[in-house]
Amino acid sequence: MAPIEVKKICCIGAGYVGGPTCAVIALKCPHIQVTIVDLNQARVDAWNSPDYNLPIYEPGLLEVVKEARGRNLFFSTDVDKGILEADLIFVSVNTPTKKSGVGAGFAADLNYVELATRRIAHIATSNKIVVEKSTVPCRTAESMRTILEANSKPGTRFDILSNPEFLAEGTAIADLFAPDRVLIGSLQSQEGKDACAALAGVYANWVPTERILTVGLWSSELSKLAANAMLAQRISSVNALSAICEATGANIDEVAHAVGKDSRVGPKFLRASVGFGGSCFQKDILNLVYLSESLHLPEVAAYWRQVVEMNEYQKRRFSKRVVDTLFNTITGKRIAVLGFAFKADTGDTRESAAITLIRDFLSERARVTIYDPKVEESQIWLDLQEALPTTPLEQIKKSVTISKTALEACEASEAVVIATEWKEFQQIDWDTVYEKMSKPAFVFDGRLLVDAESLRKIGFKVTTIGRGERL
């Protein structure tokens, strides 16, 4: 049997992965109709908004949607119609870490994946290629196949593929335009290989064939977890070294630069910070921990768990340093936190280090002002409510102010904490900030972003992560 020609694609889930990925597929494949479906009416309305007020911020995404929407890119809440018409279906739903039950705090919650799979089986009346796009534990495709086969209509066949995303938020569109690799996992049967070739044919419209890797289903699923775990491991490694630098008077920038010059190591992901965040790193490592424990590999589980523990330690260590530097108390003191997103060039706040820092500052009864150029005010309140579940929102609002500009956030504060590496924080008029702050004026750079010496000349007392005070 030859690979089918994909003419219609449906993506279930219009979030951070499904939205940008399928928008780019539509842009690069004008001959394929791409429909992104989601039960969340408000989210679909935002994707369809006349003024292009999209539900997520990602550089370059707006231009992609403007060109393809209405031509061959559609957003809808009619999930069943999308499934019925599609040759190929991406399952791109949320797989958060479980909050209760077996594996709570570690295992992925596959409820949405199962619901989407059951819906496909219930609705489909013709053969479909079903592609897991969500980050899932190893062998999830097996569960999906069991559900599809048990519930399929007579004469209907489903082929399962794994096609994990390797996008970095902030550069997702660039990553999609020119990926390092596209990974497609399939069963090694003839039908599996044909399905794999059909999806590879879609990507081949713009991705060089040597960058399209076809592997076994289980290798594909594990590769995604492995890639994120190893990237996070590098961040935790350099952050562990940053603590040694602070204690010895070494400079983590210089150490990382020297280490990164080794071609075996390379320079990427060697930038010390207040800690990693985002929807993937912590979730995927905890998933790997749970998988290792389930497979009776406790030493392997402990190894990967330490990557997350080091990340939590780095955040605690930084917030303690703020308190220690401000004469061992921040009660009643005003602290400006610049940045709330987990990294620059995204509005995503999931697992953001800023949330942990602010929670720690509030527990010390400080007054906090927050500024972020992209995060919605409503999202900040939601995240703080979740971080402080026993504190009513009205109570939180008495201690927290959200500002419209960085300058406004810094006014009358005793300390400025840089929590996200937005470029605009480098261009702040620090002379004006200094004039408007209480003295002594402190700056805590958790992202190695500002020129500490220039700020010291203005009069600031500057603490930079990974730099010791010894000469």
The pTM assigned to this predicted structure is 0.90
Encode burial over 314-343: b for 16+ CB neighbours within 10 A, e otherwise: bbebbbeebbeebeeebeebbbbbbbbbbb
Q: What is the DSSP letter of 55?
A: S
- Determine if the peptide bond prior to 440 is cis (ω within 30°): yes
pLDDT of residue 471: 44
Asked if 375 contacts 404 with a C-beta cutoff of 8 angstroms, the reply is no
Structure confidence by residue, pLDDT tens digits, 159-188: 999 999 999 888 999 999 999 999 999 999
Going from the C-alpha of 388 to that of each of 41, 335, 401, the distances in angstroms are: 29, 18, 16
Nearest Cα to Cα of residue 350 among 380, 320, 370, 377: 380
Q: Tokens at residue 376, please?
A: 């919605």
CB 205 within 8 A of CB 29: yes
**Which position among 132, 165, 351, 421 bears the catalytic label?**
165
Quick one: what percent of the chain has pLDDT higher than 70?
99
Q: Is 224 a catalytic residue?
A: yes
Tens-digit pLDDT profile for residues 280-304 = 899 999 999 999 999 999 999 999 9
Range from 99-113, 244-258, 451-465 carrying the lowest mean pLDDT: 99-113
For the segment 25-35, the average pLDDT, to the nearest whole number, is 98
Q: Which residue in the list 98, 128, 224, 374 is annotated as catalytic?
A: 224
Nearest alpha-carbon partner for 385 in 395, 376, 374: 395
Alpha helices (H) in 327-470, listed in sequence order: 353-363, 377-387, 393-399, 406-410, 430-436, 452-458
Which residues have C-beta within 8 Å of that of residue 219, sequence separation ≥ 6?
Answer: 185
pLDDT, tens digit, for every residue of 357-415? 999 999 999 999 999 999 999 999 999 999 999 999 999 999 999 999 999 999 999 99
**In contact, 64 and 174? CB cutoff 8 Å:** no
What confidence tens digit (pLDDT) does each residue in 241-279 have?
A: 999 999 999 999 999 999 999 999 999 999 999 999 998
Is 436 among the catalytic positions? no
Selecting among 280, 315, 374, 411, the annotated active-site residue is 280
Confirm whether 280 is a catalytic residue: yes
β-partners of residue 416 are 336, 443
Tell me what pLDDT residue 351 has.
95
CB neighbour list of residue 346: distance below 8 Å, 6 or more residues apart:
57, 58, 169, 170, 374
Mean pLDDT of 140-163: 90
What is the predicted pLDDT for the residue at 96? 79
Mean model confidence pLDDT for the chain: 94
**Where does residue 459 rank: exposed (0-12), middle (13-18), buried (19+ CB within 10 A)?**
middle
**CA–CA separation, 364 vs 353, rounded Å?**
17
List the one residue out of 199, 295, 276 whose CA is nearest residue 236: 276
Do residues 33 and 146 make contact, with C-beta atoms less than 8 angstroms apart?
Answer: no
